[in-house]
Structure 1
Amino acid sequence: MSEKPGRGYRRRSAVPACLLVAGMVWTTLLAGVATAQQAPAPLPTEQKGCLQPPTSTETGVPWAQQQLTPERVWPLTKGAGVTVGVVDTGVDAKTPQLSGGRVQRGLDVASPGGKPADDDCFGHGTFVAGIIAAGPRPGTGFSGIAPEAKILPIRCATVTQDGAPPALTAVEMANGIRAAVDGGARVINISASTDAPDQDLADAVRYAAGRDVLVVASAANSAQQGDPVTYPASYPSVIAVGAVDSTGKKADFSQTGKFLSLVAPGVGVTSVGPRGAGHWLGSGTSYAAPFVAGVAALVRAYHPELTAEQVKRRLELTADHPAATLPDPGFGWGTVNAMAAVTTVLPAESGVTLPVVTAEPAPLPPGKPAPGNGSLVALSAALSVPVLALLGLLLYKLFRGARTRRWTPARVAEVTRRSEVG
């Protein structure tokens, strides 16, 4: 046809198409500006004095929460009834996503006088606590792994007199673990370490294990500085946690060794800060450990009958295992899996050994015929096949003729003659 509908179609749609493209570009630019404005900044690690409030907010769901999908478990448990001790720099109870009774008063063991620890100058402990138990809040897709768990802050480190970041000694960590146990914690997160074995620290870990309290510790960030064995992570009853990035690759700083139990997100992860409603981004095994502590809280809430040792074993057995001999020095038993940790049925926990189901044996191949009548039976069967086939054909023709020509004695005789001929 000579009307050229193609050119007419292009003429009519040219202006709307341009507007559409322009609108898409403008929308993309606006989205980019919004993203730039809302993307959380990296958590300062070398600041002097108290950490300033975060000024940006994570509006989407951070990658770590996307991968662990803790909300799939929340219809079963959100960690209610479980207290998680955060042995750290304190936790700010006024941070919006940690407010509403989520943070107890706690105890400051770094200062004399039994002061509470529900504030936080440095921000490290608040960031850790947010990964464990931050509650949902409008305007952000970030929330903690166990949002109904309680946080027991134990401050065992404070900012030094010159304003430098705090450094924990083994004695302070030991005192913090004991205080968390005495304060009613069923899970303890300690995102600190030392590379020197210490008797006080070892005794504190045994103190926790003897009272059925599970200790989760960061493996440390010294993989590129000699990769030493670290404590309390390497004590047998402790869950030692390393860090992976969003692709599942081990973080280059993450400690390795036979003592490693699990890995969890620890590169560019999101959490809250003190004195503000926004978010920070942090990297380190310090921030991988609380993901595991949060999952442990979910398990302890849903399986209160399990001991701390059984919870540790459950988290290891239900992890997303790497393709390696377990435990792997870089990944331990694998990446913690919240859904599997809560819902998997482990027969060993019940103390009942289930019956072993074995498959039925495959049928044996046919052997040689036995002497005797076997050959005669086989021959008779072979001869009967064509006879039965012929009989079936004749019966088919007989009944077909009866249907198409109506049944009469004459037709029966005719069919009979054909049978004799055939």
Structure 2
Amino acid sequence: MRRTTAAATAGLLLLTGAVPHASAQPSSTPAAARPNSVPPDLPPNTPPPEDKGIPDVKYERTTKGCVESDTKSELIKYMPWGQVHLNLQQAHTFATGKGVRIAIIDTGVDPRNPRFGNRVIPGGEYVDNSNGKNGTDDCDGHGTEVAGVAAAAKTEGDFVGAAPEAEILAIRQTSDRYEYKGDANNEKRASAGKVSTLAQAIVRAAKQNAKVINISLTNCGTPKGFSPDDKQLQAAIRWAVDVQDAVIVTAAGNLSDQGTGCPKQNDNLDPTNVNSISSPAWFANDVLSVGSISRSGAVSSFSVWGPWVSIAAPGEEIISVDPKGTGLTNANVTAQGTTDIKGTSFASPYVAGITALVRERFPNLKARQVMDRLKATALHPGNVSGKDNKIGYGMINPVAALTAVLPSEAPGFQKPQPKELNTTVTPPAGLDWPPIIVALSGIGLGGALLMLTLFVRNSLNRKRGRQA
């Protein structure tokens, strides 16, 4: 088994900040009537936050060591099941992501793995800007593994990322190898990362022409107040999608009892009032929120449900680039032992890479049209609506997304509007006696002729009997 040493986080990294709650923000819908699964309305023309391009506080390195490699650059000789299931080999005959820039907002992306070639671009730093690497230093390994799933090229072996020729814009926004001890104005943080700097990172990525932005991070917990930072995040997302034409792909969230994920599954009888809110996945109208499925096709046990889930992709038994070596890895070593790489963190970059393929093949589609195409061509769950709260519109289907002809994309297409059908109940018509009389007369005449025929026949038969 290939592995990386130290705690390369396979799940989601928890951002510092209040967990949003819908009813805390005034909107056109009364707070009491709005379910907590729906975010507040964003006031029209709300500007995105200013991107300061630096950490908001001075973080310090913790005693945790950076991720290392013990794979010895050996190859994993089998093709990842997710890659087979998604039929990426055929999808790459239509598009490879060439000319499309994917932003990876995460723990950074180390560009040294040969499967990245020269496609990693330093994009931004919100953790530690003292080394001048501008997003290309990854002490955790998480961001590099995410980037590998999204866009690693195929060299030796069978592994390949979803968009092997896409550009990778590296932005480091979080890390659990850093901490902030607090001061008079800011609370202590056990790891680097804040909702406000995530909003700034989205603005930065969009301004640097990223047409796909992957966020394998979540701020997840029980519903609480909707903070100013949450509003900044919402504004940044809306601006990136509608003004800068970027598709934002984000992890739906992982269940966890270790304090690094969502505290409780959204298995409520009323799915619109949830136990846990996962942000930015929560902003469902503006992002593609990605749930995880297993090799069997079932929803992963850790994948968080919610009305905001848009789509699903493989999120278990992940293979990706070794974040500190030249080979591949399929596991992480932590203080608790060796664990497979898994999580909605890794389902998300599959979708991000496939989004890049669609953006290459259909360059004239706007961000929201691309999102609609991916949802329309997904393998829908078997119910009346074609959507549920576990996998959204279903398993992403790359070949269909790259080849389907959708009437909704035709010029001048107008969605059919439902029409009201007016019906009236009328009494049955009265009996029409003339045809009834004619019919009964015909029946009577026919009966009389039949009786006459039988009488004549019997008479003849008797006569012949006497003559014999």
The C-alpha deviation readout for 1:268-312, integer Å capped at 9, x for no partner, is 111012221222221000000000000100000000000100000
Deviation at 1:112, TM superposition (A): 4.6
- Counterpart residue type for residue 149 of structure 2: I
- Counterpart residue type for residue 3 of structure 2: A
> C-alpha distance in 2, partners of 1:73/1:62?
16
| Alignment partner of 1:68 is 2:116 | no
| Alignment partner of 1:290 is 2:349 | yes
> C-alpha distance in 2, partners of 1:299/1:141?
23
Secondary structure at the aligned position of 1:173 is classed as helix
**2:248–2:286: 8 Å Cα contact kept in structure 1?**
yes
Query: Which residue is equivalent to 1:109?
Result: 126
Gaps of 5+ in 2: 10-63, 181-188, 257-261, 266-275, 331-340, 417-468
- Counterpart residue type for residue 128 of structure 2: S
Shift in alpha-carbon separation, 1:194–1:338, aligned structure 2, 3 A: same
Query: Which residue is equivalent to 1:86?
Result: 104
Query: Which residue is equivalent to 1:203?
Result: 235
| Alignment partner of 1:229 is 2:277 | yes
Secondary structure at the aligned position of 1:104 is classed as strand
Secondary structure at the aligned position of 1:200 is classed as helix
Which moves more between the two structures, 248-257 or 273-282? 273-282
- Counterpart residue type for residue 67 of structure 2: L
> C-alpha distance in 2, partners of 1:287/1:165?
23
Q: Which has the higher contact order (CA 8 A, sep 6+)?
A: 2
- Counterpart residue type for residue 199 of structure 2: A
1:21-420 aligned at under 5 Å gives the runs: 39-41=1-3, 45=7, 48-55=64-71, 56-99=74-117, 101-112=118-129, 115-138=133-156, 140-161=157-178, 166=191, 168-195=193-220, 197=226, 198-209=230-241, 210-222=243-255, 225-227=263-265, 228-235=276-283, 236-281=285-330, 282-324=341-383, 325-353=385-413
> C-alpha distance in 2, partners of 1:89/1:54?
20
> C-alpha distance in 2, partners of 1:112/1:321?
44
Please report the TM-score for the alignment, with normalisation by the length of structure 1.
0.70
Report which of the two has the higher share of helix.
1
> C-alpha distance in 2, partners of 1:87/1:232?
12
Secondary structure at the aligned position of 2:200 is classed as helix
- Counterpart residue type for residue 292 of structure 2: A
Shift in alpha-carbon separation, 1:90–1:42, aligned structure 2, 3 A: closer
| CA-based RMSD | 2.5
- Counterpart residue type for residue 150 of structure 1: E
Which moves more between the two structures, 193-202 or 229-238? 193-202
Secondary structure at the aligned position of 1:105 is classed as strand
Shift in alpha-carbon separation, 1:46–1:214, aligned structure 2, 3 A: closer
**1:219–1:242: 8 Å Cα contact kept in structure 2?**
yes
> C-alpha distance in 2, partners of 1:127/1:165?
23
- Counterpart residue type for residue 132 of structure 1: A
Gaps of 5+ in 1: 1-38, 357-422
> C-alpha distance in 1, partners of 2:178/2:93?
47
> C-alpha distance in 2, partners of 1:69/1:260?
23
> C-alpha distance in 1, partners of 2:190/2:344?
17
**2:179–2:191: 8 Å Cα contact kept in structure 1?**
no
Deviation at 1:234, TM superposition (A): 1.6
Secondary structure at the aligned position of 1:91 is classed as coil
> C-alpha distance in 2, partners of 1:339/1:46?
32
**1:46–1:165: 8 Å Cα contact kept in structure 2?**
no
Task: Give aligned-pair identity as a percent.
Answer: 37
**1:54–1:280: 8 Å Cα contact kept in structure 2?**
no
Please report the TM-score for the alignment, with normalisation by the length of structure 2.
0.64
> C-alpha distance in 2, partners of 1:311/1:349?
10
> C-alpha distance in 2, partners of 1:200/1:295?
28
> C-alpha distance in 1, partners of 2:320/2:172?
19
Secondary structure at the aligned position of 1:314 is classed as helix
> C-alpha distance in 1, partners of 2:235/2:99?
27
- Counterpart residue type for residue 256 of structure 1: W
> C-alpha distance in 2, partners of 1:128/1:298?
17
Deviation at 1:118, TM superposition (A): 1.9
> C-alpha distance in 1, partners of 2:322/2:82?
17
Secondary structure at the aligned position of 1:107 is classed as strand
Shift in alpha-carbon separation, 1:42–1:225, aligned structure 2, 3 A: farther
Shift in alpha-carbon separation, 1:263–1:44, aligned structure 2, 3 A: farther
> C-alpha distance in 1, partners of 2:206/2:147?
17
Shift in alpha-carbon separation, 1:167–1:288, aligned structure 2, 3 A: farther
**2:247–2:371: 8 Å Cα contact kept in structure 1?**
yes
- Counterpart residue type for residue 225 of structure 1: P
